[in-house]
């Protein structure tokens, strides 16, 4: 997918933008013409590397630290991004935590942390962004293939947190559609990142569950996000970028 440079003059915020899908998305949006704020909680140097690469593409960029589990920092990140770059047109909710394990091993602290980051953080960032956006704003959230298919035990908490984003996205589409703001959801499948490398010990089994028989790349997810950042008549939709994992 390509947006053919339709993001020129736009400002985007990518949460969790210092590595993996987030970093690839920040760079893809910049190549399409957007200025980009890179949110991060750890990995300041990695976030600053993304900023330098964006700037080398001729776009403005800034790295901003915020913990998605902290309500004040989440809203503050949106405000800081808009303040630094002169507005906000695109929010990419990419920050998240993955916690897999047997049901009986999950503590209350585990539940709270995952829901704070994966659900509450997305809601609060979207709420803050909607207050800033004008006609044509875009909210794009990164979900998970586990909302479509859970192939085995251990994914209860994570799948629940990502499934909540389906209802949130559809409701946002209805809530904000009258203002020309769209909301969409991207579900990555097994993606080759440092958190889940294509040569890792569990990779062969994951790849075998896809129709294409391989891991995807962060760039393949990012290109779908960039398409949605420019698309004008797509909202409340889910896009599986999973190699046929849920087929």
Q: What's the CA angle centered on 193, arms 21 and 3, to 5 degrees? A: 30
User: Known catalytic residue: 158?
Assistant: yes
In order, the DSSP letters of 50-114 are HHHHHHHTT--EEEEE--TT-HHHHHHHHHHHHHHHT--SEEEE---------GGG--HHHHHHH
DSSP per position, 110-151: HHHHHHIIIIIHHHHHHHHHHHH--TT-EEEEE--GGGT---
**Catalytic-role residue among 40, 158, 227, 245:** 158
Radius of gyration of the chain (CA): 17
Question: Cα 223–149–20 angle (5° rounding)?
Answer: 35
Continuous segment of H or E residues that includes residue 36: strand 35-40
Q: Tokens 């087929």 correspond to what residue?
A: 247
- What does the block give as tokens for 92? 């990419």
HEC string for 190-201: CECCCCCCCCCC
Rounded Cα distance between 100 and 13, Å, is 28
What CA–CA distance (Å, rounded) separates 132 from 78?
Answer: 9
For residues 94 and 38, is the Cβ–Cβ distance under 8 A? no
Active site (catalytic) residues: 158
């Amino acid at each position: 997918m390509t947006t053919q440079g339709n993001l020129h003059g736009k400002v985007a915020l990518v949460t969790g933008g210092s590595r993996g899908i987030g970093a690839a998305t920040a760079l893809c949006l910049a190549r399409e013409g957007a200025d980009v704020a890179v949110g991060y909680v750890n990995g300041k140097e990695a976030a600053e590397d993304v900023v330098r690469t964006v700037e080398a593409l001729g776009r403005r960029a800034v790295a901003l630290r915020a913990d998605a589990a902290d309500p004040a920092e989440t809203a503050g990140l949106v405000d800081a991004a808009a303040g630094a770059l002169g507005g906000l047109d695109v929010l990419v909710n990419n920050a998240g935590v993955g916690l897999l394990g047997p049901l009986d091993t999950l503590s209350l602290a585990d539940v709270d942390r995952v829901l704070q980051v994966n659900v509450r953080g997305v809601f609060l960032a979207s709420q803050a962004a909607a207050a800033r956006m004008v006609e044509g704003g875009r909210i794009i959230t990164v979900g998970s293939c586990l909302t479509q298919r859970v192939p085995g035990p251990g994914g209860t908490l994570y799948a629940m947190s990502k499934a909540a984003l389906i209802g949130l996205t559809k409701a946002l589409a209805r809530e904000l559609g009258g203002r020309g703001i769209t909301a969409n959801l991207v579900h990555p499948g097994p993606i080759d990142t440092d958190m889940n490398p294509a040569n890792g010990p569990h990779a062969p089994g994951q790849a075998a569950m896809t129709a294409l028989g391989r891991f995807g790349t962060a760039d393949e997810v990012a290109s779908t996000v960039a398409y949605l950042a420019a698309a004008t008549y797509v909202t409340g939709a889910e896009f599986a970028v999973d190699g046929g994992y849920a087929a």
